[in-house]
Amino acid sequence: MTEKRNSRIALLAVVMLLSGALLGLMSEDSSAADNNAVGFISSADPSGVDVTIINQATGESSSVTSADDGSYSFEDLASGDYSVRYSKAGYLSVLNSWSIPSDLPLAGVSMEAAPSGSETVTINVQDGAEGNVEDATVYLMSSTTEDSWWSGVDVGYTVSTTTGADGNADFSDLAAGSYDVRVEAEGYATGLGSTDDVGSFNLAELDDTNKQTVRVFDTAGNPLGDASVFMYDATTSSWYDAEKVGYTYYLHPSTGSEVYVYAYHGTHSPAVGKIASVAGTDSHDMTVGDNSAADSDTVYINAAPSNGGQSMAPMKGDKMVKLNPGPSASVDVSGTTDLDGNHVIAAGSTVNFSGSASTSPVGGLGYNWGGSSGADYSAEFEAGEHTITLTVTDAFGATDSDSVTITADGAAPTPSFTAIVKSNTDDEGETYNGSNVDEDFDTVIFNASASSDAVGIDSYSWDFGDESSDTGDVVSHMFEDPGTHTVTLTVTDAAGNSASESMSISVNDVTQPSAEFNWSYTNETGGVVLNSAMEGEATNFNAGGSSDNSNGALTYTWDFGDGSNVSTGETVPHTFTSIPEDGFNVVLTVTDASGNEDVTSYNIKPAQKERPDLFISSLTFSDDNPEAGDTVTMDAVVKLLGLSINESFEVGFFLDTLDGEQIGSVSVDGSNLSVGIENGFNVSASWKATSGAHTIYVIADHTDIVDESEEKNELSKVITVKSDSDEDDVTSMVMIIAVILLAVGSVGYIYRDNLFSK
C-alpha cells in the first residue's frame, strides 16, 4: 500500500471518527439522512468493484462502483437490514449484510482473485428449428465457488457473455476444467448443461405445448385484467412473465418442470399456486385478496435457486424474492379451562379445536388433525391426558405443526365451607351456632377456602336461599328476611366437574310487622263504599294490607272504640249503633310469629242512617173558648218524612206539660201514613175541659216505638176554659197571654212546614 494511500485512509478514518463523535452529540432520534455509509475494498485492484445493496424490507436497490482506492459510499440510507454483494470480473463475488446504523462505520471487505488460465471455450446456441440463437446470455460456472445472493448458498465462479449472429458465445482466459453452462434467451426456456457436452445447446421455444391459461379474480368473483402474472420454474430457477390477452394470462412452462404461478394486484394481497410437474395444457383460476399473510412486496420461492440462478439479484421486478418461511400452525381450543398451557376438561366432554388462526404467506393451507382434515375439529375425551397435533401444509408443500395437551379429569371437587357471624366490622365474629343470626343486622362470612380438587378449583358459586347469590371463595352476606335459609356452595374445578355442599342458616325475626287496614260497608243498592261506615250497618274491616318480612302467619286484634268486645281475624265485621260526634278510634294490633307487633288506628265517624221523621203539623180544638165541663175535641195532623214505617205508634195528648196528665191517646197504623210534607193523617181525642188557662201538648210516638232521625214530634196549643163565675181581669189577662202564645206556636209550625217543603 502506497504512502499516499495510507494518508488518504488515515484522513478518512479521522473524518469517520469525527463524524461518530458528532453523531454522539446529536439526538438519538437522528433521521435516515444521517446514515451515510463509507467502506473500503482490499484486493490487487480495488477499483471498479460493483457494490449492490438491497433493502430487505422495501426491496429498494442501489449500486455504486468503488474508486481507485477501493472506497465507496452510500448516502442517506434508511435504517434497516441490507443484503450487499461485491462483484468484479476476475474476482470472486462476496456477499455481506448490513444492519444500518448499528454496523456503521463499515468494516473492510477483501476480495480474492478468481481462477484464470489460457483456455478458450465456445458455446453454440441453437433453437433446433430456426438455427442459431442470437443475443442469448450464456453463463459458465467453474468448480471454484463464490458467494451468491443467497446467504449460505455458494455458486460456481461465474462468467457470462452473449451469442452473436452465429449463435456462438466465446470465452477466453479460463482455467482448465469443466464448467456448468446456463443459457437464457427471450422466448426460450432456460437451457442447462456442461462444457463437457458435445455439440450445440438446443433451446426449447416457449410454445403452446404446455400452455397454462390463468384468470385472476378478486374476492367478490370479479375478473381482473390489470394483474401481474408470472411464473417461477424451480427446475431451472428461471422467471417467465405471462402473455396477457384481455382478462386472460398465458404461461408456457417446460414439460416436467416444477412451476409456481404468481398473481399480484395493486389493491389485493397476492396469490400463488404450484404445478408439481407440468404435463400438457391446463387452466387455473386464482383469487387475490383472500390471504392476509401474503406480502405484496415479496415473492416467495420454494427453495434457494440452483444452476446459476442464485448468482442473480433476488428480485423480481421491484419485489424481493425470499425463501418461503413455511406455514405457521396455530391451534385454538374452546370448551376447556387453560391452566398454564394445559387445557383441562371434565372426562367425557367434547372439545372444539380450530386451526383457522394458522397462516402462510403463500396460502393454500391444508389441515391434518391426525386423520381428520378441515380447519375445525372436535373430539370427546375420556379420563386421562391427551395430545392433539395439527399439521398444516402450505401451497408449496411446506409443513408446520402445533400441539395442545388435553387433561380430562373425571373426579369432582370436594366442597367445604364455614360460617362466621359478625355484628359489625370490628367484631371478630363467632361461629354460627344455629341461633345467632339476626335479620338485617348480622353479617355472615362464608369461607370455602378449605375446598379441594385434584386439578384446581376454578370457581365458587353461592346460593343463599333468599333469591340472592355471589361468587368467590370467601363471601359475606346479610339476610334481609327471617326464617331458615339453605345456603348452597357449588364448587367447579378447572375441568368443569362440580359438587355442592349446603348449610341451613336460621335467621331470627327482629323486625316488627306493618299494620294496615281499610273498612267499607254495603249500601242499599249493593254497592261497596270503601273507607266509610254507616250507623246500624255492618262495617267490614280488612287488615289484608298488613305485611311482615317473615311471610309467616300474623295475628290481628281489633278494638273498635265503642266498648264492644275485642275481635280477632284478618277480616271482621262490626256494626256501630251510635254516631258520636268524636267518632270511634279503631285500633288494629298486628303480631307476627316471633311476637313482634305493630299498631295502627283510624278515627271512624259512621254516617247517620236515614230514618223516618214523625211530627205534628197542626193542633186544633172544637171550641177555643169552652166553659168548664164542656167536651172539647182535639184534632191533630200527623205527618211523615224520610222513610216509611210499618209499625203502629201512639199519639198522646197531655195537659200543661209534656210529662203531665195524659188526656188522650190515639193508636196509628204506620202503614197508613204516606211520606211527604203534603200528606197528613188526622187523629182526634176528646177532653172534658176544666176551668183555667191550659197548654195542650200533642206528641207523635210518645212511647218511642219508631226509630226516628229526630225526636221532636210534639206540638202545643193554649186553651182557656171559662169558670162558672164571671171572668175577672186576671182571667182576661191570661186569655191575652194565651192568644199571644198560640199565635207564636202557629207561626213556628207554619215555618216548619215551609222548611220541609223546600
Q: Are residues 751 and 616 in the same domain?
A: yes
Burial bucket for residue 266 (CB in 10 Å: 0-12, 13-18, 19+)? exposed
pLDDT for 724: 65
Would you give the end-to-end CA distance of the chain in angstroms? 149
Beta partners for 99?
81
Residue 33 per-residue DSSP state: G
Residue 47 has pLDDT above 70, yes or no: yes
Cα–Cα distance, 311 to 315 (Å, whole number): 11
Claim to verify: residue 522 and residue 592 sit in the same structural domain: yes
Residues 448 and 351 in one domain: no
- Verify that 85 and 216 share a domain, yes or no: no
* Residues 7 and 59 placed together within one structural domain of the fold: yes
Is there a single domain that holds both residue 636 and residue 727? yes
What average pLDDT does range 429-436 have in this prediction?
95
Buried b (16+ CB within 10 A) or exposed e, 543-573: beebebbbeeebebbbbbbbeeeeeeeeebe
Three-state SS letters, 528-558: EEECCCECCCEEEEECCCCECCCCCCCEEEE
- State residue 584's pLDDT score: 97
Determine the structural domain holding residue 167 and report its residue range. 119-202
Query: Residues 313-368: pLDDT tens digits?
Result: 999 999 999 999 999 999 999 988 887 778 999 899 999 999 999 999 999 999 99
User: CA 283 to CA 211: how far, in whole Å?
Assistant: 9
**Which run of H or E residues covers position 241?**
strand 238-241
pLDDT mean over 84-97 = 95
Q: What is the pLDDT of residues 145-189, one digit of tens each?
A: 999 999 888 899 999 999 999 999 999 999 999 999 999 999 999
Judged against a pLDDT cut of 70, whether residue 455 lies above it is answered with yes
482, part of any domain: yes
Amino acid identity of residue 219, one-letter, is T
Residue 601 and residue 583: Cα distance in Å, rounded? 13
Q: Using CA atoms, how far apart are residues 673 and 77, in angstroms rounded to an integer?
A: 131
Cis geometry, peptide bond prior to residue 101 (ω within 30 degrees of 0): yes
Q: Which residues, 6 or more positions from 732, have their beta carbon under 8 angstroms from its beta carbon?
A: none
Query: Phi-psi category of 703—alpha, beta or left, where left has phi over 0 and alpha has psi -120 to 50?
Result: alpha
Residue 33 lies in a domain: yes
Cβ neighbors of 450 (< 8 A, separation 6 or more) are 416, 417, 418
Residue with cell 165541663: 629
Contacts of 33 (CB under 8 A, 6+ apart): 76
- The contacts of residue 255 (CB under 8 Å, 6+ apart) are 209, 210, 278, 279
Mean pLDDT of the chain: 89
Tens-place pLDDT, residues 17-32: 434 433 343 334 444 4
Residue 380 burial (CB count, 10 A): 11
Q: Is residue 143 part of a domain?
A: yes
Same domain, 287 and 316: yes
Assigned domain for 454 exists: yes
| The pLDDT of residue 726 | 42
Mean pLDDT in residue range 105-129? 92
Q: What is the DSSP letter of 253?
A: P
SS3 sequence of 194-213? ECCCCCCEECCECCHHHCEE
Q: In what order do the strands lie in the sheet with 692-700?
A: 661-669, 648-655, 692-700, 714-721
3-state SS of 633-690? EEEEEEEEEECCCCCEEEEEEEECCCCCEEEEEEEEEHHHCCECCCCCEEEEEEEECC
Q: What is the CATH number for 134?
A: 2.60.40.1120
219 and 188 fall within a common domain: no
Given a cut of 60, whether residue 745 has pLDDT beyond it is no
Residue (of 250, 242, 241) closest to 211 by Cα position: 250
Residue 140 has pLDDT above 80, yes or no: yes
* Confidence at residue 563, expressed as pLDDT on a 0 to 100 scale: 92
DSSP element (H, E) containing 11: helix 3-25
CA distance to 417, 421, 551, 632, per residue, from 483 (Å) = 21, 16, 9, 87
Is 50 exceeded by the pLDDT of residue 737? no
Q: What is the DSSP letter of 107?
A: P
pLDDT for 657-673, tens place per residue?
999 999 999 999 999 99
Q: 513 lies in a domain?
A: no
On the 0-12 / 13-18 / 19+ scale of CB atoms within 10 A, 430 is exposed
Q: Are residues 128 and 166 in the same domain?
A: yes
Residues 77, 54: Cα–Cα separation, whole Å: 11
Q: Which of 409, 436, 457 is the endpoint of a domain?
A: 409
Would 240 be classed as within a structural domain?
yes
Residue 592 corresponds to which cell in the numbers above?
307476627
Instruction: State the pLDDT at residue 754.
Output: 44
- CATH number, domain of 379, equals 2.60.40.10
Instruction: Give the integer Cα–Cα distance in Å for 503 and 487.
Output: 5
Q: Which helix (H) or strand (E) holds 282?
A: strand 282-287
Residue 191 lies in a domain: yes
% of the chain exceeding 70 in pLDDT: 91
- 413-417, 461-465, 642-646: least confidently modelled range: 642-646
- Look up residue 481 and give its amino acid: D
List 592's β-bridge partners, or say none. Answer: none
What is the tally of structural domains in the chain? 7
Beta-strand relationship, 212-217 and 282-287: parallel
**How much is the pLDDT for 725?**
58
At 449 the pLDDT is 96
Q: Is the pLDDT of residue 447 over 80?
A: yes
Domain end position, chosen among 202, 217, 243: 202
> Are 715 and 620 within 8 A, CB to CB?
no
Least confident range from 477-486, 518-527, 578-587, 721-730: namely: 721-730
Same domain, 306 and 219: yes
- The amino acid that residue 300 corresponds to is Y
Among 366, 388, 409, residue at a domain's last position? 409
pLDDT confidence tier of residue 682, bands split at 50, 70 and 90? very high
Check whether residue 214 and residue 294 sit in a common domain: yes
Residues 313 and 340 in one domain: no
Closest to 93 measured CA to CA, from 155, 33, 14, 27: 155
State pTM to two decimals: 0.58
Task: Grade residue 707 by pLDDT with cuts at 50, 70 and 90.
Answer: confident
Kindly state the cell numbers that stand for 186.
427471450
pLDDT tens-digit series, residues 398-431: 999 999 999 999 899 999 999 999 999 888 899 9
Question: Is residue 316 in a domain?
Answer: yes
pLDDT digits (tens, 9 = 90+) for 373-393: 999 999 999 999 999 999 999
